[in-house]
Amino acid sequence: MSFTYEYPRPSLTVDCVVFGWDGLALKVLLIQRNEPPFEGQWALPGGFVQMDEELEDAARRELTEETGLGVMYLEQLFTFGGVARDPRGRVVTVAYYALIDLHRYAAPAGASDARDAAWFSFPDLPQLAFDHDRILKVAHARLQGKIVYQPIGFELLPKKFSFTQLQNLYETILGEEFDRRNFRKKMLSMNILIELDEYETGGPHRAARLYSFDEARYRALEITGLQFKI
């Protein structure tokens, strides 16, 4: 079967930058290519957009097929269409970035269609195929820019988390340290956290209280003019 058009058309793909957080470092999910071009090199998960699917659905489908990852925060990043970005011909890719709680998806590899998939610590990454290093750079900049004025950091954390975990996340992503008291004050002042009656245990130190993000509350306050801000 083949498809004929009066004018030439670029191929259209989606690529996903999947960020995870393991409590210490920001991670990126990469897959190892098993065919040319760039065979054997690491690349962002992605693939061709079907004719009858929305772009975002295509991104989710590719993620599930290649890595077994399911629902998560997903947002369109940028469209990369450089004429020489793929040696096989003109390929325009709509890039997305995703945020997931790494602990809920410990083993991304293993899906039916899964190639070799692995988490890499940012920014210690291998050389990437195509222009994927550039895409990744843009995604990281977006994450840094957005995490300070939208409550997307919680997407990377377990449902229940301590203040230390939350602060470590912010400090790593922004490459900047915060005063513990001020950080806590600012976060709590927005009234979007639920103080749980649960505590983190195990460490040789006082148990930290756990919190969860109150998304419903956030949406409500957002309408009344709350400005999330770190």
Count of residues in contact with DNA, rule CB under 7 A: 21
The helix (run of H) or strand (run of E) holding residue 57 is: helix 55-67
Instruction: Return the SS3 of 28.
Output: strand
CA distances from 163 to 103, 160, 172 (A): 18, 10, 14
Between residues 54 and 177, which has the closer beta carbon with respect to DNA? 177
Q: Does 177 help bind a copy of itself (rule: CB under 8 A)?
A: no
Half-sphere CA count of 216, side-chain side, radius 13 A: 1
**What is the DSSP annotation of 163-180?**
HHHHHHHHHHHHT----H
Q: Does 124 help bind a copy of itself (rule: CB under 8 A)?
A: no
Peptide bond into 123 cis (omega under 30): yes
Binding map of a copy of itself across residues 70-89, x = CB under 8 A, - = no contact: ------x-xx-xxx------
Binding map of DNA across residues 146-185, x = CB under 7 A, - = no contact: ----------------xxx--------------xxxx-xx
Do 114 and 67 meet the contact criterion of CB atoms below 8 Å apart? Answer: yes
Enumerate residues 6+ apart whose C-beta is below 8 A from 190.
Answer: 221, 226, 228
Between residues 112 and 189, which has the closer beta carbon with respect to DNA? 189
Q: Does 8 help bind a copy of itself (rule: CB under 8 A)?
A: yes
Q: How far is the CB of 121 from a copy of itself (least distance, A)?
A: 27
User: Would you tell me which residues interact with a copy of itself (CB under 8 A)?
Assistant: 1-12, 48-49, 51-55, 76, 78-79, 81-83, 90, 92, 94
Kindly list the residues in this chain that would bind DNA in the complex (CB under 7 A).
162-164, 179-182, 184-186, 199, 201-209, 229
